[in-house]
Structure formats: structure tokens, C-alpha cells
Structure 1
Amino acid sequence: MRTIGFVAKELGISVETIKFYERKGLIKQPVKPESGYRVYDHTITQRIEFILKAKTLGFTLNEISSLLRLSNDCKEVERIGLKKLAVIQEKINDLRKLETVIKRLTENCQNNQDATSCPIIESLSNS
């Protein structure tokens, strides 16, 4: 029987994660029979897998909710994807700038002859 615990274990997530997705409206909670446990069918598992994959690509739960609602509107899904791509590209550019600064600072340390003075500490201390 595919109970919430079974599905959670199968997908490597917690029961609380599944309940959270239910509360957010990303998946529907199965009806509980008068006696017994809720049974999670394969479509729910597939939907959770979709959510998990989308999260690994950096989509937020709100964006994932939009993707699920717009599954038949490829142009709108493309728009969301392009928006996410722009955010990722901006982060990459910021990381490249950070890389350049850190590289320069560590090179300054490597060339530093004064053991009592550290270029990185001095740089961080000076505003």
C-alpha cells in the first residue's frame, strides 16, 4: 500500500515535506477512508518528483505552482524559464566578480612579506 510514509521513503524525502506540499496546494491529499490510511497513487508520486526536479533547477515553490498550472501553455512556461535564466545569469556574473576580488586578495597575501599584516583582513577592515 502506498501510504505517505512509503512515498516519502521511496522519494527520499520526509513525510512533513509531502504534507507541506499538500498545504501549499502543489499536490492533492488523497481522501482518507473511514478505516485505514490514505493511499497515494502514482500520479501524486510523479507530481512530487516534478516538484523535486524543478527545485533542483532553482525554481521556487511559487514558480513551480505556476509551471504546474501552465503545463498546457508552453509560451508562458518559456517566459518563466527565461526569467529564471536571467536570474541565474546575474548570479553567475556576481560570482565571477566575487571570484576576481577574492583571487586578487589571496594573491596579495601570497606576495605579502609582512607576517604581521594581512591584506585580506585589512581589506575587510577598511570601509
Structure 2
Amino acid sequence: MYKIGELAKRFAIKADTLRFYEKHGLLAPSSRSEGGYRIYTEQDAERLRFILRAKKVGFSLTEIGDLLSIRIDRDRYSCHEARDIVDAKLAQVKEKIRELQVFQQSLTTLSASCCGGNEPATHCSILEALDSADGDSKEVQS
């Protein structure tokens, strides 16, 4: 049995993190002491470990909740449903990587266009490119 501070210390997190997970329905204390303190069991600790591992690989709180539902009631769900959650996250990550690669190429091009000297920036090619309406980015229309 763990009090909130003890469980938090075991996993090197803050007690506020446990309260946050409780607020979002991911974790709940198994009971409360007579003084109202949250009491967690070893099973709660294993659930927290699962939450922290899922968070570490990038799942959102909603996705973690979905995975926890599958974990709790494995007979009601299929591996396919868990895989769908992972595959959707993987697609999001791949898209983000593509976006970051575009950003990287744009920044590389901007950097290469500038001499990087100590002269005044009155004709800085980076600033001129960002000021240019002919750039690659779409301007927001109001």
C-alpha cells in the first residue's frame, strides 16, 4: 500500500501528476485512509507504470485511456483494436517527421543563402526571403 507521496517517489514523479491522472480518469486510488489520504495498491502502481510507459512513447491521455480500457477488459477487445491505436499514432508521427523535414530543408536553404558576416543586416538575404511574398509559405488571408 502506498500513499500518494510514496507512489510518486517510487516513480520519480510529482504527486500532482498522480492527481492529474486521477482528474483525467486514468488512475484512481484503491481506497482512502480514515484521514482522507489516497491509498494505492501494487495493482495501481502497475497501472501507473503502464501509463508512464505509454506517455513516454508519445500517446496522448485519450489514447492512453483507450489502451487502458483494452488492458482492463482484454476479453472484450481484440489485438486489432490495440494495433489500430498504435498505427494511428505511428501515422501521426510519420506526418510530423515529414513536416519537420520540410522545415529543416527550408531552414537549411535560408541559412545557406546568408553570408553570415558582420555587416549590417540592411540587405540580409534571410530577412528578405522571409519578407518576400514570393516565398514557399502561404499567407494567411483575412
Alignment TM-score, normalising by the size of structure 1: 0.87
Distance 1:107 1:50 in 2: 45
Structure 1 or 2: larger helix share? 1
Q: Which residue of 1 aligns with 2:94?
A: 89
- Secondary structure of 2:53's counterpart equals helix
Asked whether the equivalents of residues 8 and 14 of structure 2 are also in contact (C-alpha less than 8 Å), the reply is: yes
Distance 2:35 2:10 in 1: 24
Q: Does 1:119 align with 2:118?
A: no
Equivalent residue runs for 1:27-106 within 5 Å = 27-35=27-35, 37-71=37-71, 72=74, 73-106=78-111
Letter in 2 for 1:106: S
Q: Which residue of 2 aligns with 1:13?
A: 13
Q: Shift in Å at residue 53 of structure 1?
A: 1.3
Asked whether the equivalents of residues 30 and 44 of structure 2 are also in contact (C-alpha less than 8 Å), the reply is: no
Letter in 1 for 2:58: G
Distance 1:49 1:4 in 2: 14
Percent same amino acid at aligned positions? 37
Which sits farther off after the overlay, 103-112 or 32-41? 32-41
Unaligned runs of 5+ residues in structure 1 are none
Q: Shift in Å at residue 39 of structure 1?
A: 2.6
Q: Shift in Å at residue 10 of structure 1?
A: 1.4
Change (3 A) 1:120 1:3: same
Matched residue count: 127
Q: Shift in Å at residue 20 of structure 1?
A: 1.5
Q: Does 1:110 align with 2:115?
A: yes
CA RMSD in angstroms comes to 2.1
Change (3 A) 1:94 1:36: closer
Q: Shift in Å at residue 48 of structure 1?
A: 1.1
Unaligned runs of 5+ residues in structure 2 are 134-142
